[in-house]
Each structure stands twice: as C-alpha cells, then as structure tokens.
Structure 1
Amino acid sequence: MPYAHAADGVALYYEVHGPDERPPDAGGPESEHAGPPALLLIAGQSNSRRWWDPVRGDFEGAFRVITMDHRGIGHSDKPDDDSYSTRGFAADAVAVLDAAGVRRAHVYGTSMGGRVAQWLAVDHPARVDRLVLGCTSPGGPHAAERSAGVTRSLAQHDAAAVRRALLELMYTPEWLAAHPGPYRTIGERGTPPHVLRRHRLASHRHDAWDALPAITAPTLVVHGEDDVFNPAANAPLLAHRIPGAALQLIPGARHAYFEERRDVASPLVLGFLTGAT
C-alpha cells in the first residue's frame, strides 16, 4: 500500500485513481509523473478517503485523483500527541503530494477538509493550482457558528441518536429514505477515541481569517443552502475574504451537498477546475 511520511515520521496512507495512474513507487516531486493534471480531495473531520467514494469517479476522467487518510484515520498512523491541527493536516497533504510525485495540484476540500485546504493554499501556494472549498468555514470568532440546538443534538449520550442527528444534518429526509447506506460521511468506523477527540479539537481551533486574503489560487466556494451543521452563512464570508473567489450555493442541499446533489455539484466543480466555467 502507498504511504507518504510526514515531517514527524507519521505514515499517511493515500491512493491515486484515474487515467494513467502513478505507481506507488514512482518517486518524489522531482520526478513528476507526466499525464493528466492531479486533483487532491481532502475529507472531513474523522473521515477517511472513503468520504469521497460516492463521487470520486466523477473526476477520474479528467484528473489523476489523489485521496488520503488524515493522520489518525483509516490506514494512517494514529499518534496520541499534539500534532493534530488543520495547518498540520495541510503539511501532511504536501507530504502526500510529494510521495505521489505531484508538484502542483487542484485541491478540493470539504468540511474540515476545506479548512485544511485553506492552509494548504496559504502556506504552500506553489503546490495549489485551483482551489475548491466546500461546506466549510474560516473558523475563529468571525465564523458563523451552528445553533445551540444542533450542538445539543450531537452531544447526546445515546450513540444511535447522535448518528440519526448527524445523518439528518448531512442529508435531506427524502434522500435518506431512498438511500439506506452505507454512509461515508459520518465518521470512519473503528477510529480510536483519542483521535476523535483530537480531530474535533483541530477543527474547532481552526482560524484562518487573517490569512485568507493571502490566497492567490483561483477559488470556488460551494455550500448547501440548507446546511446548518456548518452554517451556509460561512460561504459568503469565505468568498468575500479570498481575493476573486466565486460563490455557489446549492438550493435545498445540506452538509453533504457533494453527494446528495452530485448532479449539480460535480459538474459545477469540474467546470471550474477545467476552466470551462
């Protein structure tokens, strides 16, 4: 299995999909693989590369698609230390790009993955071609916070009740009735408690507000209009803060807009990344 290694030695699992896939032992960025442009997909909090399984194929015809397991998740190492932060996850993503032999990639991050993508574009601008930030937030005191009711629904002691609440925040009732699962967006099974705690803190502590104006990559901000898990009010905050960013709200969509409304979201993102729109 292909692994990258972060600066602190943590092993990070990744996969490459799509046309002309790069072999796992192809070397570092100095031997960049010729072929289709690369697209790095970054998943949400406490979720693995499987987050993208329902829609990854929408991008494989145009890009070599790279997915990864955050530190602590899936096949990646699971240290119990203070190395978990959205800015640190961005550095991990650079290690993955290095291992995959990619100097520059389009980056599409959703939810906490969008927070990570912000830092990737700020700290490593030469590595980011076009940037898509989905259902995410600038973090910190300037962000639009979820309501107390949503927070209470996720803090229940009944695990089944929390799962139901999370699903209802991700998808509309109509979509849930027609799609019995499996659901890839409600956390990776078997994740240790210390990792869940550290991922939650990393996401909560994210604050890129002061750094966002430094982003130079062409940026698209996408959000479900009915998202109350990460309130849709965060989308215009990001779009106004990032120079030249475009904004697209998807009517009727909740947090997992990219899956439930893939008929709208995937063509929208593809058009932006290929320069068609």
Structure 2
Amino acid sequence: MPGAVVGLERVVMNGLELTLLRPLWLLALPVLGVAGWWLYRRRGGLGDWQRASDPALLRAMVALGRVDKSASGAPLLALLAALGLVVIGLAGPAVERRDTLSFRNLDAVIFVIDASPSVTEHTRWPQMLTMGRFGLAALGTRPGGLIVFAGDAYVASDVTLDHLQLGQTLSLIGPETVPDPGSRPERGLQRAVEMLDDAEVLAGDVILLTDGAGLASPSLQMAWAIAARGARLSLVALDGVSAGFETHAAAGQGRVFTLDQTEDLATWLSSAARTQLEQQDYPLLFWQDVGRYLLLLALVPMLFLFRKEVA
C-alpha cells in the first residue's frame, strides 16, 4: 500500500478491532463529500451544455428527443463511492496477524553483567541474579544473550531462544568468571552492540547490571551508540542509584531499575517490546493491511461509469 506510516489508530466495529496504519488519509473523506455535493448541485439537467449551447438549438434537440434531461445521479454516486473506498483503503485498515509473536525475534534482549569482584562478592549479588532471572522469565518469545565483563568483556551466551540455557549460564557467573581485573562497562556495551548487529536485530534492549563502577565518558558514548541503532539501554543498580545511572539511561533511551523492581523490569521487557518496534515504523510486522482488497472493491461501482448505451 502506498504512503508512509504516520501512526496507528484503533477502531472497534461490532467486536472486530481494526487498526488504521495511515489514519491521516481519512481527512480526504470530508473533502470528497464537499466536492460531491458541489458537483451534484452544479451539474443540473444538461450540465454545462445549457450555458454553452444556443437556446433555440437546445429546444429543437429536445423536440427531436435527442436530449435526456433525466440527469441520473448514478454515475456521480458511483464515482464518489469508488473514490471513498480508495481513500479508506489508503488509510490502511489492518487486522492483527495470528503469527504476531513470531516476529518478536527481531527484538532481542542482551544482558550485560558486571562480574568484577566488587559485584559478585557483594552481599546483594544473589538479589542481582534474581533480577536477571526475572528479566529472562519476561522475554516470552524474544531471544536473549549474555555478556560478562570486568577488565574486559566476553560473550557468555550468544543470542538464543533457549531461555533455560541462559538461566543456567547466569547462575554460574561468579568472581572467577572474568579473569581480567577492573571494571570496563564500555567493553561490555560494545560487545552488546556487536551481538545485536551480528544477529541482525531490528530493535532490542540492552540491560546493564552493575554497581556503577566505570560508568564514565566511554560507556556514555556506547549508550548513545545503542540508542542510535534503535535499541535501548537500561541499567540495574546493585546498591543505590547515582547520577551516572540516570545519565546513561537517558542517553540510551532506557530506564534505571533497583533490585526491588523485579516486576517493573519484567513489564518493561514484555509489554514495551512490541511498542518499540511499532514506533520504529515496523507496524506491518504485527498487522495485516487489508486496504488492498478495498481497492479491488472500488472497481465494482466504477463499472457503472462504463455502461454501454443501446440505441
């Protein structure tokens, strides 16, 4: 269907929910109605011939039966009906696809976990693992991946739909997982961007679980890079939220979560996933545009415009 997607408008008719992919096209319907009314009032019995022709000649032709003054409005109504159906078709009426969930594999979630001793040896580390498990449980049909970092970053699990495997790998992370000393979150975020690119993910979420160590200019640049490719960066704070958390979340167009916000994280990863793809002009992944069938239906009233006169 032609025309860019400018927004989604839902309409419920007799229990059937329709979504208009291009609702601004409906603005043409009032214009079409005014134009039809003007043409109907203007055309008269003989249209413009009554003004352009000699009155005596017209009277003679009427006497000979060569002028039809019935002025049927059927052709005009047929034309308006056809144009109305075309306009509604261009508005993009759509119904939800049955296989909607299968398209969510275009929207992956990458968990980037700080495995430095300051995190894994913290008393709240078990709560951090619980937060990660809640996030995995909320993925539904979205694939996920795991990256661990300390002084360097490594892929713990590539993008996969096997959430059980992800959960098992998450449980094995400990102080000895990453041998490199330090805390370099920018390395983990860079790996996340590479993972999204390799998996050809259209959108996505990156969840950084950290105590905030190492959040600085390099990691902030990676937050901007994640947002620039259509993904979102959110952070889970181990123990208190600093200004660095808020700055990175704002740059990555995500949120900051604390360890007591497990339900909020689950909601963020489940209900917000589809909205994110729709906002990036991928609504046809979820809706089947039926406007093309209205264009075919518009051919029916147009048949009245091609009727053959039999002498």
TM-score (norm 1): 0.36
Structure (1/2) with the larger helix percentage: 2
* Structure label with greater radius of gyration: 2
TM-score normalized by the length of structure 2: 0.33
